[in-house]
């Protein structure tokens, strides 16, 4: 006999989500130009700078070039409110755009600032600093105050000799490098080697731990193979960066330096967007966190600890993320207060109304809450996460509608998700919210092949291919 939840699921498919699909179906189109490699980090492989640090959550420079050629007749002001390591900013800047990014995590902000520092150096300046370093006895002195300051999640991530070598390297950088730009690039080189010289490997939303680590490990034993000494890894990284700077390949295929600009603000776009002037942006290209429980503060825990993030700051960062993890708490009270202080409560009310009136979303939330009550979810906080994700997304979308100029565009790269065998049509829900905010949905471009649901869900519900999309909204 089917459970109450199963009956609800079977009947709900033909209701609000079906009506939403009927409304947008003509605009859901496979775009053969969009490949997995183009939409993801993969197309950046081989390009200078992008190989310095593998920021896998970013999208490719090629995608930005394609979108701007397709949608914008001339350059202007571009915004990425989830800027990551700055892929959209630099690709658009190289085409003459003045670009502004907003990024919450210090890792992305640091990588963006490192590239700007690299571009400010004279040819050969960094190469000479690397040569002097390689010929020095840099490991002979270690300031104990520069030893790696771990947070709980990174404890015992390195062999002791590696921790000592990292501290010696940072001592050399502090005491022997006078130029701030060169210091920043050396620190970025160190940041970029942390995973390679550690007992960890990034694996989805977690750090996977090598069996040699001195900590209690659960699950299947894992060995990442050879772990290079820090001296070997840092020398290789610095030489690679020096080669890239020597070739000046930072400017992609341009024959001269770019004419646009890049500026990045560290913080949450839920705060920063409030401060931007009305009708000040021509194009927004962005990829927000997906509604898939992915916790960037765990994935980049080593790098965050290296940059000085402690336990308290880590928790604060996690709560400031667009709600995409089961640990995110509700931000409704905080947001209402911020909008009241900005004398903009009416905008906040409009965003909440668009959330409340989204019938397909409310249908999904009822199903998830019912499944939670019946113990069918592997985490009871999933309904709260989904609710807060879309509520906060509605706030972001309404702010974008305010700051984008008439006839300007927003392009959002995002994936649909699935829980308890039910696909959440993120593309359609967000597009409906965008239209309530004053946009027109021109396209919901999909990749020819979507992504599969998780192995756990395939086992319980069968394979269901989920849409990978780029939504194109035009401001009326």
- pLDDT tens per residue across span 440-467: 999 999 998 755 544 444 444 455 689 9
Local structure of 347: helix, strand or coil: helix
Mean pLDDT of the chain: 90
- pLDDT tens per residue across span 150-190: 999 999 999 999 999 999 999 999 999 999 999 999 999 99
Question: What is the pLDDT at residue 451?
Answer: 57
- What's the rounded Cα separation, in Å, for the pair 379 and 213? 28
Question: What is the pLDDT at residue 57?
Answer: 74
Q: Which residues contact 131 (CB under 8 A, 6 or more apart)?
A: none
- What's the rounded Cα separation, in Å, for the pair 110 and 307? 9
pLDDT bin (cut points 50, 70, 90) of residue 43 is low
Crossing angle between the packed helical segments 359-373 and 4-12, to the nearest 10 degrees: 160
Q: Does residue 251 carry a pLDDT above 90? A: no
- What's the rounded Cα separation, in Å, for the pair 269 and 272? 5
CB 67 within 8 A of CB 411: yes
- pLDDT tens per residue across span 161-171: 999 999 999 99
- Residue 419's φ and ψ, nearest 5 degrees, are -135, 145
- pLDDT tens per residue across span 52-108: 887 877 778 889 999 999 998 789 999 999 999 999 999 999 999 999 999 999 999
Q: Does residue 18 carry a pLDDT above 70? A: yes
Question: What is the pLDDT at residue 42?
Answer: 58
Task: With CA atoms as reference, report the closest residue to 170 among 150, 146, 189, 149.
Answer: 146
CB 425 within 8 A of CB 17: yes
The arithmetic mean of pLDDT across residues 27-39, rounded, is 89
Q: 397: how many CB neighbours lie within 10 A of its CB?
A: 24
- pLDDT tens per residue across span 98-139: 999 999 999 999 999 999 999 999 889 999 999 999 999 999
- Where does 153-269 show beta strands of DSSP type E? 200-203, 206-209, 261-266
Q: Which 3-state string (H, E, C) describes 214-239? A: CCCCCCCCCCCCCCCCHHHHHHHHHH
DSSP 438: T
Question: What is the pLDDT at residue 4?
Answer: 41
pTM of the entire predicted model: 0.91
- Where does 72-177 show beta strands of DSSP type E? 77-80, 98-103
- What's the rounded Cα separation, in Å, for the pair 388 and 383? 9
Task: With CA atoms as reference, report the closest residue to 82 among 289, 277, 262, 282.
Answer: 289
**CATH 3.40.50.150 occupies which residues in the chain?**
4-105+254-475
- Residue 409's φ and ψ, nearest 5 degrees, are -125, 150
- What's the rounded Cα separation, in Å, for the pair 199 and 163? 12
Question: What is the pLDDT at residue 461?
Answer: 46
Write down the CATH number for the domain with range 4-105+254-475. Answer: 3.40.50.150
């Amino acid at each position: 006999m089917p459970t109450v939840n199963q009956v609800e699921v079977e009947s709900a498919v033909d209701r609000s989500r079906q009506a939403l699909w009927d409304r947008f179906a003509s605009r859901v189109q496979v775009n053969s130009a969009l490949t997995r490699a183009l939409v993801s980090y993969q197309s950046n492989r081989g390009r200078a700078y992008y190989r310095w640090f593998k920021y896998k959550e970013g999208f490719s420079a090629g995608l930005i070039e394609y979108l701007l050629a397709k949608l914008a007749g001339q350059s202007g002001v571009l915004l990425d409110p989830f800027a990551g390591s700055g892929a959209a900013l630099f690709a658009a800047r190289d085409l003459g755009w003045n670009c502004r990014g907003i990024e919450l995590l210090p890792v992305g902000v640091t990588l963006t600032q490192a590239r700007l520092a690299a571009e400010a150096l004279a040819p050969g300046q960094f190469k000479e600093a690397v040569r002097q370093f390689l010929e020095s006895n840099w490991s002979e002195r270690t300031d104990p105050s520069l030893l790696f300051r771990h947070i709980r999640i990174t404890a015992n991530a390195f062999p002791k000799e590696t921790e000592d070598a990292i501290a010696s390297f940072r001592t050399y950088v502090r005491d022997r490098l006078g130029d701030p730009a060169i210091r920043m690039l050396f620190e970025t080189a160190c940041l970029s080697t942390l995973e390679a010289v550690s007992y960890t490997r990034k694996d989805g939303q977690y750090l996977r731990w090598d069996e040699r680590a001195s900590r209690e490990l659960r699950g299947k034993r894992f060995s990442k193979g050879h772990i290079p000494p820090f001296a070997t890894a840092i020398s290789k990284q610095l030489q690679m960066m020096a080669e890239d700077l020597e070739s000046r390949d930072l400017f992609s295929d341009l024959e001269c330096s770019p004419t646009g600009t890049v500026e990045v603000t560290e913080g949450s776009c839920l705060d920063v967007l409030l401060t931007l002037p009305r009708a000040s942006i021509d194009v927004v290209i962005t990829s927000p966190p997906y509604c898939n429980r992915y916790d960037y503060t765990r994935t980049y825990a080593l790098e965050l600890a290296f940059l000085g993030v402690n336990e308290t700051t880590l928790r604060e960062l996690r709560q400031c993320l667009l709600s995409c993890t089961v640990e995110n708490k509700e931000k409704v009270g905080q947001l209402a207060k911020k909008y009241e202080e900005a004398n903009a409560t009416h905008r906040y009310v409009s965003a909440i109304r668009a959330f409340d009136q989204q019938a397909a979303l409310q249908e999904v939330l009822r199903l998830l809450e019912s499944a939670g009550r019946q113990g069918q979810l592997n985490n009871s906080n999933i309904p709260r996460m989904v609710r807060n994700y879309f509520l906060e997304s509605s706030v972001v979308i309404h702010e974008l509608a305010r700051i984008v100029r008439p006839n300007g565009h927003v392009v959002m790269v995002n994936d649909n998700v699935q829980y308890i065998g039910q696909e959440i049509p993120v593309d359609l829900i967000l597009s409906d919210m965008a239209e309530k905010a004053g946009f027109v949905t021109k396209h919901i471009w999909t990749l020819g092949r979507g992504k599969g649901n998780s192995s756990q869900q395939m086992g319980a519900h069968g394979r269901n291919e989920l849409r990978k999309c780029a939504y194109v909204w035009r401001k009326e």
